[in-house]
Amino acid sequence: MKAWALGPSLLACVLSNVAYAQQVTSFADVAGSWRGRGVETGIDMTIVIGQDGSWTTSSKMGSETGKGWIKDGVFLILWPGTYGKMEITRAGADGITAKSQWYNGSQWVNSQLDAKRCEKPDCTDSGPKDYK
């Protein structure tokens, strides 16, 4: 089926979804300081990602650091102690979407974080410093 045969409304919807979740091909695609709120949890979180894949997350639940990698078009973070993971994709020029799963001690929790790029001093200054 040709794209023009989809109709303008459906084509616009398909194109907007393609633009929303952009694949990650290098650490530079997601490097930066990001702040957002968990869609399901309502918890504010800051994620700082360096040019080398190092990362720091901080929220009222605590702070963690580590080294991520790129797999299947997403920047992948594994939480320490096998307590879950976070998969990050770009959402336009100044946003990321992070789908996460973690174990809260009694059950697995799935969540999504939509975050925008921070401009200092709006975000934490902790974490990798090479993200610019």
Instruction: Quick: pLDDT tens for 33-58.
Output: 999 998 888 888 899 999 999 999 88
Q: Is 114 exposed, middle or buried (0-12, 13-18, 19+ CB in 10 A)?
A: middle
pTM above 0.85, yes or no: no
CATH top class, domain 22-117? mainly beta
Which residue would you say has higher pLDDT here, 43 or 4?
43
Cβ contacts of residue 46 below 8 Å, gap of 6+?
A: 33, 34, 35, 57, 58, 59, 118, 123, 124
Bridge partners (DSSP) of residue 100 are: 86, 111
Q: What is the domain partition of the chain in residue ranges?
A: 22-117
Most confident of 49-58, 105-114, 116-125: 49-58
What are 37's two structure tokens?
Answer: 């709120």
Identify the pLDDT of residue 63.
86
